[in-house]
Amino acid sequence: MALLELKKVSKSFGTSRQRTPVLDSIDGVFPSRGLVLIHGSSGSGKSTLLNLLCGLDTPTSGTIFFDGKALEKQSPKKRAEIRRCHMGRVFQHYELLNDLDALTNVMMPLMLKGETLAVARQRGEELLRTYGLEESASKKVAKLSGGEKQRLAVIRAIIHRPEILLADEPTGALDHSNAQIVADMLLDYSHQALVIVVTHDLQLFKEVATSVFCLRDRKLTVEKLNESVMDIPSSSPFVPTVRKRTSWSSLLAKTYFVQRKKIHTISLLSSGIAWAACLLTVGFAFGSGPSIVDASKQFFDFETASVSKVSKTPVEGSPLTLMQSSRPSVSEMSQFSQRFDSMRFDVDLNPLFSSIQGKVGQREITGFSFCPIRNFSFSSRQQNMLVKGTLPTHDDFETLIINREMEHKLLEEEPSLDIFDMPFLMTSQATFELTHPENPFSSVKETFSFSQSMRIVAVVKETSFLNEPRLFYSHHAASDFLEAIEAPLFSSIVHQPVNWFQLLKDASGNDALSSYRYLIFIQNEANIEAIFLLAQKEGNGSKNFEISSHAFTHREALASIGYVLRIALLFFVLVSLLGSLFILGISGYSSFISKLKESAILLSMGATFKEICSIFMNESLFVGLFSAILAIVLSLPCQSLFNFCFEKYLGISHPISIPFSSFLGFPLLLVFLVLLFSMGLSVLATGIPVAFFHQSNLVANLRDE
């Protein structure tokens, strides 16, 4: 049985409507050994015939038998294995891998076959020495002469000891001296294997050829046939090794990556920025919540809040509900305060100070808030907020503490003003309709007038975002101050002295003098958080009470802004990733297109189309890997920069905290996920467009048109 046989093989190209025949019902039987010459004019289909013989292409009709089995009926993977283990290919124009050195070019068939790098190197160096090319081993093939390149191509074709060597015009581009060397190499190898040489020049091979065929007018005719070699058994002494996983595709991927470094730099930067944005978004998602809580605690009156009683009345026939606020009763407040340790409640003094103004010299100061704190016994949190001056050690109503915003307000017109040494005159005036508690027809209009020279002793730093100029006074000291001020008109109608603090305390729940609320002072931080949950309507029993404070309002506003920012960042990340994937896909596919010839050469040596695709996906893998590393490196200074800006302009500390050390309870998990997703998406971006390319498109690069 012949090793290689053709029966009624035809091949044509083109569409079903317009096909161009190249081979027409040809027959041929090839021996197991010897040099077989196929000659014909240029364009007669010689290269097409070689592509058919090695299984790169399939006939339009007819059958090609390899070792008694129809070659075209084998799977693409099996045909690749036949080329890899049983066949070698020599091209007229060398078709070496120009990006690699001479030794690596020679080693490639053995690496494709599955041999280790050490075995391939040893075998390659031996053959280079045998054919006088040992000094060219480390040279790029572009620096070799034509004769050296063709000898190198022959060495590459025989290094894995194939049973069939297909040579396509192996001497067509050489001078006579180099052509003779190559012819001798092929003749020498034909003593142990079948060497098929296709050429239009008969001079070198006709005399030494075992058999001679002529390809003319799409037919293959026998001109010379040595019957003796046909009797040699087709079973080969060369047993293919079990294919191991080799690094040839990674080697080419690294080479192409370096070669296209400028293009890959763009891909790398775009992906790196996209993944850095992802990391910053994750950092914001993890860090903004605790930062917002911390920011809300950076208010000097964080322990102060207010409680109002809310009654809701549905409007009949309407979806609207009327809400009315009033000050809870003392018993209701007592029950409310029993839920929490270390909580005190007291009347709100704000009705008397609602129109308060300040004056420094002749300059009037408005647009600030006059805020109570329980007393001048400060927590460590409050002490850490001090930036200027000294916190007072005892309560008095002449002492004020201001925040940085108030300091800026005082100094905006007089930057050299010494705020600690200036007299600060505080004035307020408010008029109320006061009714006799037992005689509703007896009432008076009482005016509260307040004028007090006060002094600023300390400046504290609060969260600046959404904050306003604020002055803090001791509620305990102010209460004592108001107890000493009598309301003369009201005292006259009730016939006993009544002070303003008593009026505030005795005001009815829905009277303006009550301010419709009680102040609460909390000393336990755990209770503050529990009260905050009530303020958010998340706790039991909050339906009848409305709890508010400057810190709570600030926290809710920041949380809403943080949510919007997270959505915006997520959208930005998605757009960035899609753009990055698009750039990666174009870059990877363009790399594949630019290497079609090299890919076709690898295909002819036994690489599968899938493996060839993996070269360019591995190339993208490198881009993804370095993109992830770049993203991690970029994210650290960006995190510091953004946190600095948040701290400086918004007063929020470390809202971005990328959890590199621990993510979802696992150390370095985030780093691993970024590396995994970056490399995976890079491979996917290249793999999808490359996968739609067909093997037949690669084979077209080897046809002799």
pLDDT of residue 610: 85
Type of residue found at 424: F
How far, in Å, CA of 388 to CA of 151, rounded? 86
How far, in Å, CA of 613 to CA of 252, rounded? 11
How far, in Å, CA of 152 to CA of 178, rounded? 12
How many CA within 13 A on the CB side of residue 69? 9
Which residues touch 56 (CB under 8 Å, ≥6 apart)?
A: 79, 83, 603, 604, 699, 702
pLDDT of residue 231: 55
- Taking residue 461's Cβ as centre, other Cβ atoms within 10 Å add up to 17
Residues 516/325, Cβ–Cβ less than 8 Å:
yes
Domains of the chain: 4-244 (3.40.50.300), 258-297+559-702 (no CATH), 304-546 (no CATH)
- Taking residue 394's Cβ as centre, other Cβ atoms within 10 Å add up to 10
Give residue 533's pLDDT band: very low, low, confident or very high (50, 70, 90): confident
Nearest in space to 507 (alpha carbons), one of 373, 336, 334, 350? 350
How far, in Å, CA of 513 to CA of 432, rounded? 7
User: pLDDT (tens digit, 9 = 90+) per residue, 163-181?
Assistant: 999 998 888 878 888 888 8
Once rounded to an integer, what is the mean pLDDT over residues 598-618? 86
- Weakest-pLDDT range from 47-61, 428-442, 538-552: 538-552
pLDDT of residue 127: 93
Give residue 565's pLDDT band: very low, low, confident or very high (50, 70, 90): confident
Q: Over the chain, what is the mean pLDDT?
A: 87
How far, in Å, CA of 435 to CA of 441, rounded? 7
Residues 288/609, Cβ–Cβ less than 8 Å:
no
- Strands (E) in 255-380, as ranges, are 304-314, 321-326, 343-347, 357-360, 363-365, 369-373
Type of residue found at 500: W
Beta bridge partners of 454: 424
Once rounded to an integer, what is the mean pLDDT over residues 238-256? 68
Q: What is the torsional sign of CA 601, 602, 605, 607?
A: negative
Q: Is the pLDDT of residue 464 over 90?
A: no
Beta bridge partners of 196: 36, 166
Residues 105/133, Cβ–Cβ less than 8 Å:
no
Which tokens is 418 given? 């010494």
pTM (whole model) above 0.95: no
Q: Is the pLDDT of residue 94 over 50?
A: yes
pLDDT of residue 256: 85
Structure letter (DSSP) for residue 517: S
What 3-state class would DSSP assign to 392?
coil
Once rounded to an integer, what is the mean pLDDT over residues 60-64? 92
What 3-state class would DSSP assign to 56?
coil
% of the chain at pLDDT higher than 90: 38
pLDDT of residue 538: 42
Which tokens is 396 given? 């008095």
At what angle are helices 146-158 and 176-189 packed, to 10 degrees?
Answer: 10
pLDDT of residue 543: 59
Give residue 482's pLDDT band: very low, low, confident or very high (50, 70, 90): very high
Once rounded to an integer, what is the mean pLDDT over residues 124-138? 92
User: pLDDT (tens digit, 9 = 90+) per residue, 289-319?
Assistant: 889 888 888 999 999 999 998 887 777 777 7
Q: Is the pLDDT of residue 695 over 70?
A: no
Q: Is the pLDDT of residue 391 over 70?
A: yes
The phi and psi torsions of 398 (rounded to 5 degrees) equal: -95, -5
**How many degrees, rounded to 5, is the angle at CA 686 between CA 680 and CA 690?**
135
Once rounded to an integer, what is the mean pLDDT over residues 502-522? 90
- Taking residue 161's Cβ as centre, other Cβ atoms within 10 Å add up to 20
Separation of CA 653 from chain center: 25
pLDDT of residue 245: 55
**How many degrees, rounded to 5, is the angle at CA 624 between CA 619 and CA 627?**
125
pLDDT of residue 421: 86
pLDDT of residue 541: 44
Distances (CA, A) of 563 to 269, 297, 536, 558, 640: 28, 20, 16, 8, 21
User: pLDDT (tens digit, 9 = 90+) per residue, 670-691?
Assistant: 999 999 999 998 888 888 888 7
Residues 615/256, Cβ–Cβ less than 8 Å:
yes
At what angle are helices 261-297 and 550-594 packed, to 10 degrees?
Answer: 170
User: pLDDT (tens digit, 9 = 90+) per residue, 195-227?
Assistant: 999 987 787 888 888 889 988 888 888 887 776
Q: Is the pLDDT of residue 475 over 90?
A: yes
SS3 of 73-103: the string is HCCHHHHHHHHHHHEEEECCCCCCCCCCEHH
Beta bridge partners of 386: 460
Burial class (CB in 10 A: 0-12, 13-18, 19+), 666: exposed
Provide the residue count of the chain.
705
pLDDT of residue 411: 92
Q: Is the pLDDT of residue 697 over 80?
A: no
How far, in Å, CA of 225 to CA of 229, rounded? 9
Give residue 241's pLDDT band: very low, low, confident or very high (50, 70, 90): very low
Go through 60-84 and write b for each residue having 16 or more CB atoms within 10 A of its CB, e for each that does not.
bebebbbbeeebbebeeeebbbbbb
pLDDT of residue 237: 42
Beta bridge partners of 216: 219
Residue found under tokens 């504290």 = 460
Residues 7/62, Cβ–Cβ less than 8 Å:
yes
pLDDT of residue 236: 46
Distances (CA, A) of 152 to 139, 243, 624: 12, 24, 35
% of the chain at pLDDT higher than 70: 94
Residues 2/211, Cβ–Cβ less than 8 Å:
no
Structure letter (DSSP) for residue 452: E
How far, in Å, CA of 193 to CA of 162, rounded? 7
Distances (CA, A) of 186 to 51, 170, 302: 19, 9, 92
